[in-house]
Amino acid sequence: MIAEYVPFDHNDPQERQMRVLVGNIRWMQRPHYAFVGTEDSPMKAMEAREEAELLKAPLQVIEVAGDHHSSLPTAIQRYLDVVQREQD
């Protein structure tokens, strides 16, 4: 079931760890935006914000309506809005 949603080997612990936000924030050197669905676990958004603040990482966590899948169209539009504002 999971395999149809993820484009990688979800049975590989190292691969899974490399694809998650929390725990990898310390490596961020350039500005990042994390769009998190309001129906996703609120703990992940809170953890990411706390980790970024603690590490002074260049991360903005932005919540958008939906879950991990249904939030994608809104997240894409919000990202494009952010990028456009930065270029103006």
Average pLDDT over residues 35-63: 92
What is the C-alpha separation between 52 and 50, in angstroms, rounded? 5
Q: Which residue has the higher pLDDT, 1 or 76?
A: 76
What is the C-alpha separation between 46 and 5, in angstroms, rounded? 24
pTM: 0.77
Residue 39 contacts residue 14 (beta carbons within 8 Å) = no
Average pLDDT over residues 38-57: 91
Residue with tokens 């924030």: 25
Tokens of 86: 């930065």
The SS3 of residue 19 is coil
Confidence band for 2, pLDDT divided at 50, 70 and 90: low
